Amino acid sequence: MRIALIGTDTDCGKTTVACALLRAARAVGVRALPFKPAASGPSGAEADPERLAAAARLPGLTAADVCPQRFVAPVAPGLAEPGGTDMVWNTWREGQAASDGGPLAAARAVLAGLEARYAPTLTVIEGAGGLWVPMPGGTWLPAWISAMRAAPVVVGRLGLGTINHTLLTIAELGRIGLPPRGFFLSETRASDDPSRAHNERVITAASGLPCLGVLAFGTGEQDGEWLRPRAWERLLGLA
């Protein structure tokens, strides 16, 4: 089973949720493999691929395995590669179907190899930024979700504004034929924002989707107490 964590924006807590999910998986005996097909920005211990590899604790798994395509510039992966801006612009302007070749095909091959090597119960694929993000090869993130046959799960930032951002992302995924399995909310910074108390209930009522977990800032990452009941059944496609 593959899931794709789709953020409502950049810095909404996708990597933090992914790492917490990997740790929680170990606690319940679920073998989980992280994968981030493309990333941009500085490397180092606090970069997304390194954090994912460390959280997975799979023998021999490195950040290079987790993320086969990395770019230095801190912009969307599809804009960071040489000539990427023109490729993305032409694809959008001309309405071309995203190609399943090039960088996307390479990423799929890497992922298949990792799954053969580790035989995971669950593969956690982390996207880049939000939903409509330019990706390598003149493609866009939705094409990668579809090509990797991953069930989308939305990750929103807990707090003021997340109802709008999360519902828009859920609606757009449904519109393009990639209905999400549920959503997570992540508190990305300490705050006394009163809107946090209403986010989960309103989003669930408006979308009909279950909240799979709410990750509070700086807590709950070592176990699965932040996950909602039956979250694993949803994530594993059993409910």
Catalytic residue among 36, 70, 157, 181: 36
Please give the sequence-ordered ranges of beta strands (E in DSSP) within the chain, or none if there are none.
2-7, 32-35, 38-40, 69-71, 122-126, 134-135, 139-140, 151-157, 183-186, 211-215
How far apart, in Å, are the Cα atoms of 134 and each of 4, 8, 65, 104? Answer: 16, 15, 22, 12
* Residue 107 belongs to domain spanning: 2-235
Q: CATH number of the domain that 55 lies in?
A: 3.40.50.300
Q: Per residue of the chain (239 residues), what is the pLDDT tens digit?
A: 999 999 999 889 999 999 999 999 999 999 999 999 999 998 898 899 999 999 999 999 999 999 999 999 999 999 988 877 777 667 665 554 445 568 999 999 999 999 999 999 999 999 999 999 999 988 899 999 999 999 999 999 999 999 999 999 999 999 999 999 999 999 988 888 888 899 999 999 999 999 999 998 876 556 778 999 999 999 999 87
Count of domains forming the chain: 1
Does the annotation mark 14 as catalytic?
no
